[in-house]
Structure 1
Amino acid sequence: MGLSLQQFVMVAGAHLLALLSPGPDFFLVARSALLRGWRKTGAVCFGIACANGVFIALAVGGFAALHRHGLAFALVQAAGCAYLFYLGVLMLRHARAASIEAHVQDGSPATQTGAWHTRFAMGFASAILNPKNALFYASLFALLAARDAPFGAQIVYGVWMFAAVFGWDLLVAMGIGHPSVVARFTRHSATIERTTGAVLLAIGASVLTMLAREWL
């Protein structure tokens, strides 16, 4: 398979640095963990990981069609901005001082079944509409291809990165969604909602500004 330990360390290190850079996905995970606890946030984390898996599969398969100055990339950026604006406005409009512990302890089957799909979809949409994810994996696997990394090794790297995304986001959720942390923020759920909404709006506005400067 030609798996090089030195190359694996390079790939894993670059991916770790990318994970440590906070973006929309991080704020969604943090918000969900504080409002619902880390167990229910697992669906958001899995959605984010699956979206990353799509980009990884496309990059490994050589279908990285998104280029920084291409129309497809601009359209993905615009769609991502629209989604961030939608989430931000939604959180600002519906922010209220609800009991976080009630959300965490809610065990009704209907809530668990419907909410899991909603949380998964939110995480998946956030990550799949983030053009930075597409660029990162396209650039990384293009570099690996240029260095003649075997296809089998690239698959191993891809599986590792999928697991790393899911594991890292779940670790963040577990840390933020710990019962003691959740209890501390119980009375501030409205502030958490408004802050997250404002951050998502700010990120969307900054990306939209750069997009307008480039194309207008």
Structure 2
Amino acid sequence: MPTSEFLLLASAHFLALASPGPDFLLLVRNSLRHGRRNGIGASLGIALANGLYITLALAGFSLLQQSPALLMTMKWAASIYLAWLGWLFMQASLKPPVLADGPAVLRRHAGFAAGMGAGFLSAILNPKNGIFYFGLFTLMVGVQTGAELKLLYGLWMFAAVFMWDAALVCAISQRRAMAWLAGSLPMIERGAGLLLMVAAAGLALARV
């Protein structure tokens, strides 16, 4: 295995992964509001969406770049989704901060499947994810690298996304962390909602 190539690829991917974005805000809010099970589901949904983009990148073409109409549709869909998500966050901030150890009815209505769906939508509706992975493989993986090795790179990145996000969820959902954040949850949701709305406006106005 060309170690230097893998380290370069993994480092660039980790820097992007560690940068806060809509997925990060979703994980933090869902973990606090709906608990660990929902947060782990969201982590898997985000990883699956990233895995789909990785698969497209490994196939050697960019579906998004080949179809301007699809890219524009995804851009507007993502803008609307982010704005809607921001509105939900703002609305939730007006409610009492019921956390993971609160009423069981809350956990039933926002369990693993709901989290996975929200995470998948958050990641798949971001066209920049597809462009990022396509650029990553184009710029950092040599033409001499075999298909098997590229597949290993892809599997590593899929696993890294899930493990990083799941670790974040597990850290946030610890009782001490949740107790410390309980009083700040409405402020966190208002701030996250505002950031998501700003991101929605920025994406709608941006050229992609």
Scaled by the length of structure 2, what TM-score is found? 0.89
Q: Does 1:180 align with 2:176?
A: yes
Question: Which of 47, 50, 58 is the matching residue for 1:49?
Answer: 47
Q: Does 1:167 align with 2:172?
A: no
1:79-130 deviation per Cα after TM superposition (whole angstroms, max 9, x unaligned): 11111011111222243342434x335556x944762211111000000011
Partner of 1:143: 139
Cα 1:200–1:20 change in 2 (3 A) is: same
Offset at residue 131 of structure 1 (A): 1.3
Q: Does 1:190 align with 2:164?
A: no
Question: Which of 101, 125, 146 is the matching residue for 1:104?
Answer: 101
CA distance in 2, matches of 1:34, 1:68: 40
Partner of 1:16: 14
CA contact (8 A) 1:66 1:73 kept: yes
Identity of aligned residues (%): 34
CA contact (8 A) 2:34 2:111 kept: no
Cα 1:60–1:114 change in 2 (3 A) is: same
Structure 2 unaligned blocks of 5 or more: none
1:1-216 to 2 correspondences below 5 Å: 3-67=1-65, 70-101=68-99, 103-104=100-101, 106=103, 111-112=107-108, 115-143=111-139, 147-211=143-207
1:106-165 deviation per Cα after TM superposition (whole angstroms, max 9, x unaligned): 556x94476221111100000001111101111122235653211000100000000000
Cα 1:111–1:177 change in 2 (3 A) is: closer
CA contact (8 A) 1:97 1:187 kept: no
CA contact (8 A) 1:43 1:116 kept: yes
After TM superposition, the structure 1 stretch with the greater mean CA deviation from structure 2, 136-145 or 116-125, is 136-145
Offset at residue 22 of structure 1 (A): 1.3
Cα 1:200–1:56 change in 2 (3 A) is: same
CA distance in 1, matches of 2:186, 2:18: 26
CA contact (8 A) 2:50 2:158 kept: yes
| Number of equivalent positions | 208
CA contact (8 A) 1:68 1:135 kept: no
1:184-204 deviation per Cα after TM superposition (whole angstroms, max 9, x unaligned): 222333222222211110111
